[in-house]
Amino acid sequence: MLSPPDVRSWASQRLTNQRRTWIDGGGTWPLTRGLEPPTAADIRAGLDGVTKWTSAWTATRLPPGVRLGRETFLMRGIGSQTMPVRIEFDSPRAVADFTGDVSAWDGVQRRRAALMERWPQLTPASGLGRLYDWLSKATDADVDRLLAVTAWIVANPRSGLYLRQLPVVGIDTKWVEGGQRRAIAMLVGLLRGDVDVSGETEKDFLRLCGLRAPATRVRVMVLDPDLRGVVGNMRDFYAPVVELSAIPWAPRATLFLENVISAHSLPDLESTVAVVGLGRAVSVAAEISWIHCTDTFYWGDIDTDGLEILSLARATFPSIRSVLMDYSTLQRYRSRWVTESQANRQANRARLSPEERALYEALLANDWDGWEEERGVRLEQERLDWFHVEGELRGLSARRTVAGHSFRADGLE
């Protein structure tokens, strides 16, 4: 037997799940829910409970558009019994009224109607229901701003302005980034007929609105004193990739590494520049032209994530070589292993050398003598002895002078 609170909870859940579809005219009406009325056995076993159940429904206020369906049953030994058997809702508004959400529903309806009045090309089938949550929570001032900024973007689809430069009264970066970005993107997308727009990421939002994205910035550490002279004696700085690419120098080696703490300790190395902390975004560095003219090296953690990033780096820099990411280094620091949170199986094995591939497979297999953890092993960069690290890095110059040896995707030298 479903009580009024049971049905109210059910109706509230249906409203939550379907409100975006219903506001756009979807759904099949009336919406009916059976109340699972008591059987004769139920009545004989607990007449008081059945009486309370029927009384509860009799006392329940049903808003317009909601009604109870009753039926009369002839039960042996009990006689005729008339009781509620179903509840019916004529419309989504009736559901909202029954659950106590009618104010929000009516508010969204009014604001949706205002959007369709402002842009007649928006119809009930346009998908405005996707804005339901935003429309139900926004202030009137927020709605006015949404209309204003959307109108400006539609009129200026390729302005090339930064978000901060939008010439719309009341619009600033904090307002947009404070929860309005997705609403703007979705409304602009609907006006352009793009029903798949989400506007979830900043990049997609800026592209959709024809705005300029802030330049991608990369952190570099200039390890050669002579090269530092070219950039005002700076050793550690961030710069947009376009500006980095325009630096008039010709390093002979580029070292990619992840750990910032280790990067701070890097020694001076002849004709070498370090690129720090790109992780899986290593392809960003492809736009820095001079890197392609250098010997490239990658130093990351010895774990499945580190080897996956190495495989991504090889997609952009096919000849990149790993540093301190081999089996012997892993075994040398066995006492410093920690557990990897989750195995990463996404590395492109074809881009790993035979030795790297074997190490990757061993990490995935997690079958190490004396290691009883369910999760795999991980050797972090900063756990290596620095004298060992520095010696290996200083040996990069020697490795670069071996003629005719460069890594290929097939693992041959």
Say which residue, 405 or 243, is predicted with more confidence: 243
- Contact status, residue 275 vs residue 296, Cβ threshold 8 Å: no
Instruction: State the Cα angle at 400 between 395 and 404, rounded to 5°.
Output: 140
Residues 120 and 182 in one domain: yes
Q: Is the peptide bond before 30 cis (omega within 30 degrees of 0)?
A: yes
pLDDT at position 72, please?
Answer: 82
pLDDT at position 201, please?
Answer: 65
Residues 232 and 375 in one domain: yes
- Contact status, residue 254 vs residue 248, Cβ threshold 8 Å: no
- At a CB cut-off of 8 Å and minimum separation 6, what does 297 contact? 253, 254, 255, 256, 320, 321, 322, 323, 396
| In a domain? residue 405 | no
pLDDT at position 410, please?
Answer: 39
Say which residue, 254 or 413, is predicted with more confidence: 254
Residues 233 and 314 in one domain: yes
- At a CB cut-off of 8 Å and minimum separation 6, what does 262 contact? 299, 381, 382, 389
Residues 225 and 192 in one domain: no
303, pLDDT greater than 70: yes
Domain termination site, one of 163, 188, 208: 208
Domain termination site, one of 100, 134, 152: 100
DSSP 255-316: EEE--HHHHHTPPP-TTEEEEE--GGGGGGGGG-GGGGGSEEEEE--BSHHHHHHHHHHHHH
pLDDT at position 404, please?
Answer: 38
Give the mean pLDDT of the chain.
Answer: 90
Residues 313 and 394 in one domain: yes
Q: Kindly compute the dihedral angle of the four CA atoms of residues 269, 272, 273, 276, in this order, to the nearest 10 degrees.
A: -60
Q: What percent of the chain has pLDDT over 90?
A: 76
Residues 292 and 366 in one domain: yes
Residue 349 DSSP one-character state: G
pLDDT tens digits, 52-92 = 888 999 999 999 999 999 988 776 666 677 889 999 999 99
- Contact status, residue 8 vs residue 120, Cβ threshold 8 Å: no
Give the dihedral sign, CA 232/238/242/245. Answer: positive
Residues 137 and 84 in one domain: no
| In a domain? residue 316 | yes
44, pLDDT greater than 50: yes
Q: What average pLDDT does range 137-146 have in this prediction?
A: 94
pLDDT tens digits, 317-344 = 999 999 999 999 999 999 999 999 999 9
Residues 263 and 347 in one domain: yes
The CATH code of the domain that includes 343 is: 3.40.1360
| In a domain? residue 409 | no
Domain termination site, one of 100, 132, 153: 100
| In a domain? residue 181 | yes
Residue 395 has, within 13 A of its CA and on its CB side, a CA count of: 8
The domain tally of the chain equals: 3
User: In the block, which residue shows the tokens 């009224």?
Assistant: 97
Residues 173 and 316 in one domain: no
195, pLDDT greater than 80: no
| In a domain? residue 39 | yes
Among residues 65, 81, 72, 47, the alpha carbon closest in space to that of 11 is found at 65
Q: Which domain holds residue 14?
A: 4-100
Structure tokens at 22: 């219903």
